[in-house]
A and B are shown apart, each in its own frame.
Chain A
């Protein structure tokens, strides 16, 4: 059998885990594995949330990408020009051509502040910030440190975004941070979202909305941000509503990587790559798979999702080579810790069919604040670098969502 060529675009969470899992699955003389990324900085993204509050430093959450890859994996530090699915080739930005037998798209998302009028204009990184990049999170840390009261508006422009709970966590932590600093009484904290509640799913939305109220954070719903005046301090919605701010913390629009748009038939209009929600094979071509934030799947864009997907995807690459039926076991499983401040956190666990419910996940309480969940969130960084990225199995964390321990509850109108 000729040596197979596997090309993986993206050396982040999904690309790294997939490369390492595939490397263990195939002998070196059975498959060559190539990973392409334009830079060598692997960011532990959940850590970004803590940077603005001085609880983490951006240096501590960034490591070299190539060091996370097992030996026997070729790393190309290059941008992608385009993917030619017709001829099974990837063209890099220096003209290098990588032919492939199987392609894995794992290039995540691209932040697009420029798509919202005025957002990346005057006031950007002065009065208007995002913590979704290490640079933005560092700049915001300085601004929060200097913040002496006024109106702090947290906004997410539109879905989909990475880690849909992160802006809520930011609001909860900001409340805690400002109380610790003694400026909370002089601060109006506002959470504005295009959704019709605090979160997308009813039960979690109700619980998280309750936490906002409890922490005296004003919730503004169905707010579709259309324009930002970073000098005058006004966030304007498309329907004309306005929110004044002294400090705006926003999550800009997300789209897929730029090369997706230059690759005919690969992505949708926003640059996300459609994929089968159970097998992760793309409709573009049977030898192209996608995972993580880069896809258009109807589940959260989150590291846990990517991790569970990587297991199924690895299996399916092997099955594709053998000409066998693909594994259809990915069920949309996701779980996320939600920091709520004061050294506590919530945990949610859900999939395509089951929304986040209260109950227990092993020893951890679901949808309820606890110190144990906060500890879990902090410990997770170690698990990420040392178990998840290398592709080791983590007991109790598999692609299929556990139903044991979950309690269905009726939703009450509030």
Chain B
């Protein structure tokens, strides 16, 4: 528990808590960031979304919007909001250790 806390504080994060270096990410860190944001336990569905976001970012250099997430991840938008209340794309990005998704223009 203590080590986990240390891991979250010792990685580089921006003012809003997004990792600045996706390479510093680990699954334990993800669980910890989730707890910080009110998600006590990451279920399989959470992981599916978090991994999808992370893979997409690492392969295309940009994180999907909530709409593409709903269409491509296999988790409908409504459920995304149940899993990650408030802002699913932002929160899943934070937990997945990738930068904050850029707003549209």
Residues in chain A within 8 A of chain B (CB atoms): 158-160, 164, 195-196, 200-201, 222, 224, 226, 238-239, 253, 268-270, 298-300
Beta-carbon contact of B104 and A160 below 8 Å: yes
Docked complex: B16-75 residues within 8 A CB-CB of A = 65-68, 71-72
Q: For A238, give its contact among B72, B78, B105 (CB under 8 Å).
A: B78
Q: For B86, give its contact among A160, A222, A253 (CB under 8 Å).
A: A222
* Smallest beta-carbon distance B30→chain A, Å: 22
Residues A270 and B105 in contact in the complex (CB < 8 Å), given A238-B81, A239-B81, A239-B86: no
Q: Which residues on the B side are within 8 Å of A200 (C-beta)?
A: 103-105
**Chain A binding site: helix, strand, loop or mixed by DSSP?**
loop
Beta-carbon contact of A158 and B78 below 8 Å: no
Q: For B78, give its contact among A159, A222, A226, A299 (CB under 8 Å).
A: A226
A159 to B85, CA, bound (A): 19
A239 to B81, CA, bound (A): 6
Q: For B67, give its contact among A239, A253, A298, A299 (CB under 8 Å).
A: A253
Q: Which residues on the B side are within 8 Å of A164 (C-beta)?
A: 104-105
* Smallest beta-carbon distance B17→chain A, Å: 15
Closest to A254 in B: B67
Residues A268 and B77 in contact in the complex (CB < 8 Å), given A160-B104, A195-B103, A200-B105: no
Classify chain B's interface size. 10 to 19
* Smallest beta-carbon distance B45→chain A, Å: 16
Beta-carbon contact of B87 and A159 below 8 Å: no
**Most chain B beta-carbon neighbours within 10 Å: one of A222, A270, A300:** A270
Q: Which residues on the A side are within 8 Å of B78 (C-beta)?
A: 226, 238
Beta-carbon contact of A158 and B86 below 8 Å: no
22 A–B contacts from the bound complex (CB under 8 Å): A158-B65, A158-B66, A159-B103, A159-B104, A159-B105, A160-B104, A160-B105, A200-B103, A200-B104, A200-B105, A224-B81, A226-B77, A226-B78, A226-B81, A238-B80, A268-B68, A269-B71, A270-B68, A270-B71, A298-B102, A298-B105, A299-B105
* Smallest beta-carbon distance A256→chain B, Å: 12
Q: Which residues on the B side are within 8 Å of A269 (C-beta)?
A: 68, 71-72
Closest to B89 in A: A224
A224 to B68, CA, bound (A): 14
A298 to B77, CA, bound (A): 23
Q: Which residues on the B side are within 8 Å of A270 (C-beta)?
A: 67-68, 71
Closest to B87 in A: A222
Q: Which residues on the A side are within 8 Å of B85 (C-beta)?
A: 239
Residues A224 and B71 in contact in the complex (CB < 8 Å), given A159-B103, A239-B85, A300-B105: no
Q: Which residues on the A side are within 8 Å of B86 (C-beta)?
A: 222, 239
A226 to B71, CA, bound (A): 15
* Smallest beta-carbon distance B3→chain A, Å: 34
* Smallest beta-carbon distance A193→chain B, Å: 11
Q: Which residues on the B side are within 8 Å of A299 (C-beta)?
A: 105
A282 to B37, CA, bound (A): 40
9 tightest A-B CB contacts, nearest first: A159-B104, A238-B81, A269-B71, A160-B104, A269-B68, A200-B103, A300-B105, A269-B72, A299-B105
A159 to B105, CA, bound (A): 8
A200 to B78, CA, bound (A): 24
* Smallest beta-carbon distance A294→chain B, Å: 15
A353 to B56, CA, bound (A): 24
* Smallest beta-carbon distance B82→chain A, Å: 9
**Most chain A beta-carbon neighbours within 10 Å: one of B67, B81, B87:** B67
Beta-carbon contact of A224 and B66 below 8 Å: yes
Q: Which residues on the A side are within 8 Å of B65 (C-beta)?
A: 158-159
A158 to B80, CA, bound (A): 15
Closest to B68 in A: A269
* Smallest beta-carbon distance A211→chain B, Å: 20
* Smallest beta-carbon distance A205→chain B, Å: 10
Residues A238 and B77 in contact in the complex (CB < 8 Å), given A200-B105, A298-B105: yes
A222 to B103, CA, bound (A): 12
